[in-house]
Amino acid sequence: MTKTALAVLLALAVTPALAQVKDCDELKAEIDAKITNNGVEMFTTAIVDMDAPEDGKVVGTCGGQTKKIVYKRGAMPLGEGAAGAPSGGAAGSTSKQ
């Protein structure tokens, strides 16, 4: 009886941890949709490393807490973006106009 109860408690304890690992692109798409549905026309979201400095508001984490999604209202200036992004735009960013 106690072994069964322990197994059930362990399964319940592990389930939330497994559910929190979410694909970054999927989460970013969900966040973009929510922002658009709230009537924001111009904004940028970018996926950056967890330790990267953010220029905006952190609106989500993904990749097992290794990355964060940063939101900034308005258009992103050319040449600015996530660390490691090619000049001319940010990898993983979206601008809605």
Would you say the pTM of this structure is higher than 0.75? Answer: no
pLDDT means over runs of 10, the chain (97 residues): 64 60 91 95 94 92 93 70 35 42
**Cβ–Cβ under 8 Å, residues 61 and 20:** no
The reported pLDDT for the residue numbered 81 is 46
The reported pLDDT for the residue numbered 66 is 92
The reported pLDDT for the residue numbered 97 is 39
The reported pLDDT for the residue numbered 83 is 37
Beta bridge partners of 73: 43
